[in-house]
Structure 1
Amino acid sequence: MARKEINPWKWQDERSYVQAVEVTNAVSTLYVSGQTAINDEGVSSDADMKTQLVEAISNLEKVIKEAGYESKNIVRLNIYTTSTDELMSCFHVFQNWIQSHNIKQASTVLEVKSLFETLKVELEATVVK
């Protein structure tokens, strides 16, 4: 697999994403459903945004690893949140995770009216090999 990031500007670097990712010669692609702060028993978290973001990241990593992929190969990562303000207050958690795996992904952040039950944040990813 070969990948190329396309960034006509520099400002997106501070926001931990790239404008576009081109992937050629990929062996396979994994489309991951939105991962949230739902525990192993299927119970939705009612914790604060930061706690839910940490759990959503952990669940995303678990699915990616179980499928035999690596987080560093995420090429698209959409974030759905019920409050952009709350998300931005703990966005450093997300940015630290992105940096720790050297992820260079195209992203969109979307504020939505609600998510399932008591959830506040959902991460939807595309990963390649």
Structure 2
Amino acid sequence: MDRTPVNPSIWSLKFGFNQAEIFTGATRQLVCSGQTATDADGNPQHPGNMRGQFGLALDNLATLLAAAGMSFANVTRLGIYTTDMDEALKHFDLLGARLGSAGVTPPSTLVGVTRLALPSLMIEIEATAMD
């Protein structure tokens, strides 16, 4: 799969994402439901700890990608939902480390919400991936 970034201006790059990307040569697409800070049984973890929840949600996304034979290098789009925008932004280095080590800057959207499915959850990350 080849990726071509589309950035009419470069403001988004300082936040670690392209405004759009053109994909050619992809053979499979994986659409992931939102990944949160839950254990293997679906129990919420790290109550009140945004960094812990962000990290575990990324770990859970990595596990899901690996189960499909993919990695963060295959991620083509992210949607991130949070109950505390300011606190989430403080911990975006976690996402930057995962995407940076994979060499990708996928188009992304960050949305503040009043609540997620389980009241103690603070962040949810959904992804689309291709190979």
Please report the TM-score for the alignment, with normalisation by the length of structure 1. 0.95
**CA offsets per residue over residues 76-102 of structure 1, 9 Å max, x none?**
011100011110121222212221111
Q: What's the C-alpha RMSD, in Å, of the aligned pairs?
A: 1.1
Query: Which runs of 5 or more residues in structure 1 are unaligned?
Result: none
Question: SS at 2:126's partner residue?
Answer: strand
State the 1:47 CA deviation: 4.1
4+ residue runs over 3 A deviation: none
Determine whether 1:86 maps to 2:87: yes
Question: SS at 1:17's partner residue?
Answer: coil
Determine whether 1:125 maps to 2:127: yes
Query: Which runs of 5 or more residues in structure 2 are unaligned?
Result: none
Q: Give the partner amino acid of 2:72.
A: S
State the 1:25 CA deviation: 2.1
Could you tell me how far apart the structure 2 residues matched to 1:28 and 1:98 are? 20
**CA offsets per residue over residues 98-119 of structure 1, 9 Å max, x none?**
2111122010000011002210
Please report the TM-score for the alignment, with normalisation by the length of structure 2. 0.93
Could you tell me how far apart the structure 1 residues matched to 2:41 and 2:128 are? 25
**CA offsets per residue over residues 26-75 of structure 1, 9 Å max, x none?**
10100011000010121012141000000000000000000111211111
Could you tell me how far apart the structure 2 residues matched to 1:87 and 1:76 are? 18
Q: How does 1:1-129 map to 2 (within 5 A)?
A: 1-45=1-45, 46-117=47-118, 118-129=120-131
Instruction: Give me the identity figure in percent.
Output: 33
Q: Are the counterparts in 1 of residues 50 and 123 from structure 2 also a CA contact under 8 Å? A: yes
